[in-house]
Structure 1
């Protein structure tokens, strides 16, 4: 995802200026070490449930003050540093936006993404 281009497109919408005061972005990448024991990771395999992500996105779009949510997740085999997950949440106030990004991110990771670390 080209984050700048995606946001620029969102800003072209006629109601953007009236409804958006904040945009938060998550850009998840592959770590070179395991969360469990910090062992060196050479590759990461991911499997994404895209339908589940869409259902979660629809759920959080209903929260107060949320203008739009864009999610791009990647399935496949990735090296450290590769992008895996982008989430953009736009809305009116930070009090409305921050909890949506945090909760949506946690739920996507827990409910819609499976991963397997491959070690050196």
Structure 2
């Protein structure tokens, strides 16, 4: 996803200026080490549930002050440094936008994305 392009497109929408005072972006990237034991990650296999992601997006887009949520999850074999998950949340004020980004991120990661790390068990990162 080209984040700048997506935001520029959103800004052209007729209701944007009346509804948006903050845009927050999450750009999840594949780490080179495992969260579990710091083992070196060679790649990850990612399987998003796109229907569940859309359900979550629609659910949170109904929250007070939220104008639009865009979510893009990558699928397949990804290497460290590759983009994994994009979330854009646009809304009126930070008290509405900040918690929604955090909640959407946590729910998507917990309920709609499965990952399997391919690790080198011989090496760990400090």
What is the Cα deviation at residue 14 of structure 1? Answer: 1.1
Mapped pair 1:34 → 2:60: no
What residue is the counterpart of 1:81 in the other structure?
81
TM-score normalised by length of structure 1: 0.99
- What's 1:8 paired with? 8
Answer yes or no: is 1:23 the counterpart of 2:27. Answer: no
Q: CA RMSD in A?
A: 0.5
Matches within 5 A, 1:93-112: 93-112=93-112
Gaps of 5+ in 2: 121-126
Q: Distance in 2 between matches of 1:110 and 1:73?
A: 13
After TM superposition, where is structure 1 displaced by more than 3 Å over at least 4 residues in a row?
none
Count of residue pairs brought into register by the alignment: 120
Structure 1 spans left out of the alignment, 5+ residues: none
Which entry has the higher C-alpha Rg, 1 or 2? Answer: 2
Write out per-residue CA displacement over residues 57-97 of structure 1, whole angstroms, 9 at most, x where no aligned residue.
Answer: 01001100000000000110000000010000000000000
Aligned-pair distance for 1:116? Answer: 0.4
